[in-house]
Amino acid sequence: MSLPMRIGDALRVSSTGTLFALLLWSCGGGSPSTKANTKNGEFPGYDSPSLDELVKTAVAKGPPKAKGAAYVRPAKIAVPPLKPLDLSWLPKDSSGKGYLNETLGARLVYDPTKRDPITGKGTCVALATHCVQPVAVEHGRSVDECWMSTPRCQTNQPWLEADCCPSRCLELYESLRKLDYSELEASDRTMASYCFPSLREYLKRQR
């Protein structure tokens, strides 16, 4: 089903049973019980990979599709805060938790309290992408402006902080722009990277 959900919230969906594989594809999250068996939010903090490693990995996916105007760091803007969701319309299970879908006896249950590196990166992505507005209209905001103006996280456990993006993600985005990748290309490759602290280590524990 289609759901008007910000990415950070979509990544707080948990799964059981046969929908686990579907969840990994659609939401990027883990099930309530993982191999790491860590309590919500208590995964240890690890630093992001080096910028050099992240850039090399991103560039290895292919060169820029088309060279545009030279990148110039934009002036800082105010990135709008993410709005809380009203999910009162979701059907509820026996414990009162809202769920998104049910198939073959398994449910995709929405857990707004879930905090881990995946939900944290989802929040960062949501901050940058929800900020964008067509630049041709009044108060328009470009992809460059939004990425480079997101609030910066202060620790290597950003999922425990207020909504933010790690400095390494912004550095990766800007490095790709300087290498002539378009705004959308740089954004896509940043979102697909391990720039978020602890993300790579967290995903390894889910295997």
Q: What is the pLDDT along the chain (207 residues), one digit of tens a residue?
A: 333 344 444 444 333 322 232 233 233 333 333 334 456 667 889 999 999 999 999 999 999 998 778 999 999 999 999 988 777 888 888 888 788 777 777 777 777 788 999 999 999 999 999 999 998 888 899 999 999 999 999 999 999 999 999 999 999 999 999 999 999 999 999 999 999 999 999 999 877
The answer, as to whether pTM is greater than 0.85, is: no
> Which amino acid would we find at residue 45?
G
Return all residues near 29 (Cβ < 8 A) that are at least 6 apart: 11, 12, 13, 14, 15, 23, 114, 116, 118, 119
> Which amino acid would we find at residue 17?
G
Helix (H) or strand (E) holding 13: strand 13-15
Domain residue ranges in the chain:
7-205
